[in-house]
A and B are shown apart, each in its own frame.
Chain A
Amino acid sequence: MNPLEHLLRAGHAEPGQALFEDADRSLSAAELMEDAAALAAALRDRGVGRGDRVGIALGRGLDAARAVYGVLGAGACYVPLDPSSPPARLRHIARAAGCRLLLGRGGTPGWAQGLDWLDPAAASTTAPAAPPVAVRPEDIAAILYTSGSTGTPKGVAIPHRAVRAFADWGRDTFGLDSGDRIASLAPLHFDLSLFDLFTGPAAGATTCFVPERLKLAPARLVDWLAGQRITTWYTVPSLLGFLALKGGLAQRDLGALKCILFAGEVFPTARLMTLAEQLPHTRLYNLFGPTETNVCLYWPVRRERLRADRAIPVGVPACGAELRIDPASGELQVRGPCLMAGYWRDGAPRPVFDEAGWFATGDRVSRNDRGEYLFHGRLDRMLKSAGYRIEPAEIEQVLNAMPGVSGAVVLGLEDAVSGTRLAAAVAGDGLGQAALRAWAAERLPAWMRPAYYVLLDSLPVLPNGKTDHQRLRRCIEEELAACPTT
């Protein structure tokens, strides 16, 4: 069944129920159906059909929600293209996904030259309205491009089966219904947005888009949450930590806020305790899983078990996931309905599972005596910053491509206030900080750009010829300590 039909047929949403809201407009279930069906007809008119990919270059909001359901209504899959990313990256992703058409505002931007571009507001069609195209559970609903360890962005292909499993699990686990109001702040290309876009409608709840500027004004954001009577919010620990410190939470009436879910990075326990104290009546949940599995573990926060010097568990299986731990490496392996179909390459999802269907996450875990899973870090070099996942190899590939660079290594530096920050050690001739920054800014989104650069004549190597990461880390820390910062 198509997600569009599912909306009303499942009986969760009444036709008049508001499913999406922004500052001054709302979109009812019936209006969403109608708008999405019109866009789907316009897409079909342009040759888009089942199995095709359609890029969505729109920021969070009602138009993006219409576009997502319109693309799915046509039987196609959507590919978020974050409008704030550098043009070169957007072009790369649109081409790698093989997008048949791109949806965005206004005329075709420079990076999309040669690709079909459609402004949904200007879309008109002579095609007769038709019912949503039937999709199968294994058809792809979305391809989310995330940082790739091979040096280029990697497309995680998420089938309808996984979207459905996550939407239904969220609705049932958090007890959501048509009385709930969900705050949405996650950009479309970030997997947290799947909750806002699909779990909300599956529960017949209202997803409310947070005005972008409130991210920079914590007390106003808290006022907004209170004024909108938000009941449920899925966001990242770094932003919640900001609110706990500077949001004036204790002075506001957040009695409506039943539930906060967080994921994307480790929540420092001391900061979580500050948040928990200020929100005594809000249930808190730690959600866990890479984009490839979406949420495969969760832990309902038990306040009495929080200790400032102990990391919180990632908890118990979620979304019907089966989990096991590789005895040799301690690696978490996952299979089940929430799993991706594979990485998108050359027109199809390429599975990366073993013969029994297990996906190796690269996360190191163990279980405590209560049977809960604990997270101990990565087996590879992947980093997390402000909820985003970052593969150092992708940044290194960009820096290595710069003329004059003979080698580059990117490391994460831990920072008690804002989590991981990126440092790049770059070797080569005639390099300058400003030129390196400018080079990175043209090719990488803001969250992947190194904060610090250390210039070296050559990278230190181990006797076996490999780069000596430990020595490099000491080099970087010494050089930054010597910087006249304050």
Chain B
Amino acid sequence: MQEEIRAFIFSELLFVDDPAGFGDEDDLLDAGLDSMGIMRLVLFVEERFGISLPDDELEPDNLRTLGRLQRWIERHR
């Protein structure tokens, strides 16, 4: 799952020089992930993994790094 999300982010939403070197705790928002990117990411995760992420929890602190995103998703699987 982690790898699929990573592949989606770096091929569809965010373009960095070295995706493989982008750490799990590096900041996606600082790297340029914007509101439309977040919307696409959340819709992708919900559809691909058949889960529902609560609207109330959709905020930067839950998805500003790959690690945080992973932990947020795990809580709702």
Contact surface of A with B, Cβ cutoff 8 Å: 213, 215-220, 238-239, 241-242, 245-248, 386, 417-419, 433-434, 437-438, 446, 451, 483-486
Contacts and interface: CB of A to CB of B under 8 A. Distances in A.
A437 B17 contact: yes
Nearest to A213: B60
Given A246-B42, A248-B55, A216 B35 contact: yes
B43 interface: yes
Nearest to A223: B56
B34 A242 contact: no
B18 to A, nearest CB: 8
B69 interface: no
Secondary structure at the B interface, as helix, strand, loop or mixed, is: helix
Given A245-B39, A417-B43, A451-B15, A216 B7 contact: no
A446 B11 contact: no
Contact of B17 (A219, A434, A485): A434
Interface string B59-75: 11000000000000000
Contact of B48 (A242, A451, A486): A486
B12 A418 contact: no
Given A217-B60, A219-B55, A483 B11 contact: yes
A434 to B, nearest CB: 4
A218 B55 contact: yes
Contacts of A238: 35-36
A484 B11 contact: yes
Given A246-B42, A418-B40, A216 B15 contact: no
A247 to B, nearest CB: 6
B23 interface: no
A213 B64 CA distance: 12
Nearest to A441: B32
B72 to A, nearest CB: 13
A446 B34 contact: yes
Given A446-B34, A484-B7, A485-B11, A242 B17 contact: no
Contact of A417 (B39, B56, B60): B39
A246 B7 CA distance: 23
Contacts of B40: 417-418
Contacts of A247: 55
A216 B56 contact: no
Contacts of B42: 246
